[in-house]
Structure 1
Amino acid sequence: MLEDIHFERHFRTPYSEGYYIMQGSNLQNNNRLGTVDIHFTTTAVHGTLILERDLEESELTKLIEQIDEDLVLSADMPRDDFLVSVYVGRDVGFYSDEYFAEENSDSAEFEDNDLG
């Protein structure tokens, strides 16, 4: 079931990385399966895996193994353990300072118009 999985990095710091987990190799079948954030400490690597759909236990363990092989071990950081927290949810939006600035601007315009 989990074929054609690949990872697209969306951020990197000196001690952490975040990836989109994509499934499919062409544009029509290129679906996001979820995201994974990886944080490197001096003794362990911590992962937060957020899936956008439920997986069977066997698929989940294979995905975690692939994350370990493709992303954690390739980072060449020493580690005693790879600890992964797994969540299933859905993307409800993306928020940034720009979003809140626009929303506050819209609210101020509404209040100005309401006073007149």
Structure 2
Amino acid sequence: MKNVISFDREVRTPHSESYTMLDNGEIVGRVDLHIQGPNIHATLCTTPDASDDRIRDLIDAVDEQIAMTADPFREDFIVTVWKGVPAGVYGDAEASEDKINLGEISENS
């Protein structure tokens, strides 16, 4: 039985979206979509141990559930895949438990 991938949207702009990808509540990846007219460019980041079949399942889930354009027909769906581990979330705002302040990095360097 194929697992059902769900998506938790993090950011949306007029031409792009970012999602955390979940499988039974566990994070299995992240996808950033950039919509350019009838084309969609995606960057999919997943775990280092993801098999080719797993990557295909993730791409299919993105394609079936969230890869939509305003045009009636999509011309192309281009996906770049990265395998790796999360290194953290970095930002200018005050640090929280799950975010690292960029100022702290330069101060500690």
Per-residue CA deviations over 1:8-67 (Å, capped at 9, x if unaligned) read: 00000000000000110xxxxx21001000000024100000002322222221221110
| Larger deviation, residues 86-95 vs 49-58 | 49-58
Aligned pairs (5 A) from 1:52-63:
52-63=47-58
Structure 1 stretches of 4+ moved >6 Å: none
Report the alpha carbon displacement of residue 3 of structure 1 after superposing the two structures with TM: 1.2
Quick check: which one's strand share is greater?
2
Residues 1-116 of structure 1 aligned to structure 2 (within 5 Å): 3-24=3-24, 30-73=25-68, 75-77=69-71, 78-98=73-93, 99-101=101-103, 103=104, 107=107
Distance 1:100 1:7 in 2: 28
Unaligned runs of 5+ in 1: 25-29, 108-116
Structure with larger Rg: 1
Equivalent pairs counted in the alignment come to 99
Separation (CA, whole Å) in 2 of partners of 1:69 and 1:100: 36
Taking structure 1 as the reference length, what is the TM-score of the superposition? Answer: 0.74
Q: Distance in 2 between matches of 1:76 and 1:43?
A: 8
Q: Which runs of 5+ in 2 are unaligned?
A: 94-100
User: Hey, what's the Cα distance between the residues in 1 that align with 2:58 and 2:2?
Assistant: 8
Q: For residues 55 and 43 of structure 2, what CA distance do their matches in structure 1 show?
A: 13
Q: TM-score, normalised by structure 2?
A: 0.78
